[in-house]
Amino acid sequence: MTDFERKVYQIIVNMHLYGKNPTLNDLKRKTGKSEEDIRTAVKSLKMKGELKWDNKKQIWVL
């Protein structure tokens, strides 16, 4: 996991603990990176099995 992937993952985990689901704008604001960079990191985390999206509940599964 790269440093940026770890940062995105940690943001998602922290917001999840407070019952919130981070939006793309939340991630852009908190990381200071572009949408493309964030989407690449999230896609990589999903492929590695670190993150999973629940379509029914519309939340991240950690």
Tens digit of each residue's pLDDT (9 = 90 or more) over 17-49: 999 999 999 999 999 999 999 999 999 999 999
Provide the residue range defining the domain that includes 35.
Answer: 3-61
Helix or strand run (H / E) with residue 20: none
Q: How far apart are CA 55 and CA 4, in angstroms?
A: 25
How many domains, in total, are found in the chain? Answer: 1
For the question of whether the overall pTM of this predicted structure is more than 0.75, the answer is yes
50: domain CATH number is 1.10.10
pLDDT at 62: 85
pLDDT at 28: 97
Beta strands 59-61; 52-54: pairing state: antiparallel
